[in-house]
């Protein structure tokens, strides 16, 4: 079973490389943006022609949420055109596409966890391009899994956990927002979920939510990071209004995961447990 992974140098791509040996039945082929520019249809066709993958995990994305507000064309090129190109070549080669999306497709005005059937309403360029990418895939063929996730972090790449650890080495005090509620997702757990979807061979195509279990604020997340790593720091909680950003953040983006757990028989760790496991590596 050949599985092509795009965006191999990103944190999800690196997390998939980290777990690859746990799935000997899968022959992973990892392509960085240098190996495969998903915004170029000819390059997509050339790679697919050579590899002929059974599955493609699209871990390539433009994820700079604030920067996207001033670079909408670049975000569109990767998140929409790239997704569209992959869907077209997947259809051509009878490849199943696993495409990773985001909680940013929602406006964050909910008061209970978002299900796969809730109506998206992105408030910024990043969320809009990710939603448009989902729609592009759906318009082309049916053999896709779109997995929406949230607050992704890991021991790889750039993310909130690594930023907190870096800032703690540079400062005595850090202020973190306490009124945005969501769920941290360990990219290694997300990678494992994607592999399990593939080896299930169920063809239960559609949209799914995946994150770790539980919920917290960014302040709670930071507090736990420092606690687990035995870091003493003056951590202050502030409202979102005290930390303005170019892109509006969803105030509530907890994802309901009943569907993915039931269909693929997944057991999902709590965000706290997963964070502790990373810190012990």
Per DSSP, what are the bridge partners of residue 2? 27
Residue 208: active-site member: no
Specify whether the CB–CB gap between 13 and 59 falls below 8 A: yes
Q: Tokens 């999800």 map to which residue?
A: 12
Q: Which two tokens stand for residue 264?
A: 């693929």
**Can you tell me the distance from the alpha carbon of 203 to that of 236, in angstroms, rounded to the nearest whole number?**
47
Pairing verdict, β 55-58 and 2-6: parallel
Distances (CA, A) of 276 to 111, 154, 181, 191: 28, 11, 20, 18
Active-site hit among 55, 62, 114, 126: 126
Q: Count how many Cα atoms sit within 13 Å of the Cα of residue 53 in the half-sphere of its side chain.
A: 29
Question: Torsions phi, psi of 25, nearest 5?
Answer: -75, -10
Distances (CA, A) of 47 to 30, 44, 130, 142: 11, 5, 23, 22
Helix (H) or strand (E) holding 237: strand 234-238
CB atoms closer than 10 angstroms to residue 58: 27
Using alpha carbons, select from 202, 195, 190, 187 the residue that is nearest to residue 262: 202
CB atoms closer than 10 angstroms to residue 36: 25
Q: What is the DSSP letter of 169?
A: H
Active centre residues (catalytic)? 126
């Amino acid at each position: 079973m050949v599985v092509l992974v795009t965006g191999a140098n990103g944190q999800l791509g690196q997390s998939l490389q980290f777990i690859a040996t746990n799935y000997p039945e899968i022959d992973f082929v990892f392509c960085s943006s240098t190996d495969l520019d998903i915004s170029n249809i000819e390059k997509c066709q050339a790679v697919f022609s050579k590899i002929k993958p059974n599955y493609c995990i699209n871990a390539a994305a433009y994820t700079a949420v604030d920067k996207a507000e001033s670079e909408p064309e670049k975000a569109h090129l990767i998140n929409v055109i790239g997704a569209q190109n992959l869907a077209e070549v997947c259809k051509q080669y009878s490849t199943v596409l696993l495409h990773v999306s985001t909680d940013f497709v929602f406006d964050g005005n909910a008061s209970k966890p978002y299900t796969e059937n809730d109506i998206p309403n992105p408030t910024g360029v990043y969320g809009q391009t990710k939603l448009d990418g989902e729609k592009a895939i759906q318009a082309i063929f049916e053999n896709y899994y779109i997995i929406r996730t949230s607050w992704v972090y890991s021991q790889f790449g750039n993310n909130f956990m690594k930023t907190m650890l870096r800032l703690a080495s540079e400062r005595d005090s850090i202020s973190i927002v306490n009124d945005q509620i969501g769920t941290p997702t360990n990219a290694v757990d997300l990678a494992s979920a994607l592999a399990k979807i593939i080896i299930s061979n169920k063809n239960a195509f559609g949209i799914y939510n995946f994150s770790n279990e539980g919920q917290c604020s960014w302040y709670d997340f930071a507090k736990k990071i420092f606690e687990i790593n035995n870091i003493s720091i003056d951590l202050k909680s502030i409202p979102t209004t005290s930390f303005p950003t170019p892109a509006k953040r969803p105030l509530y983006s907890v994802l309901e995961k009943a569907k993915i757990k039931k269909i693929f028989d997944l057991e999902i760790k709590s965000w706290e447990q997963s964070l502790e496991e990373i810190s012990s590596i």
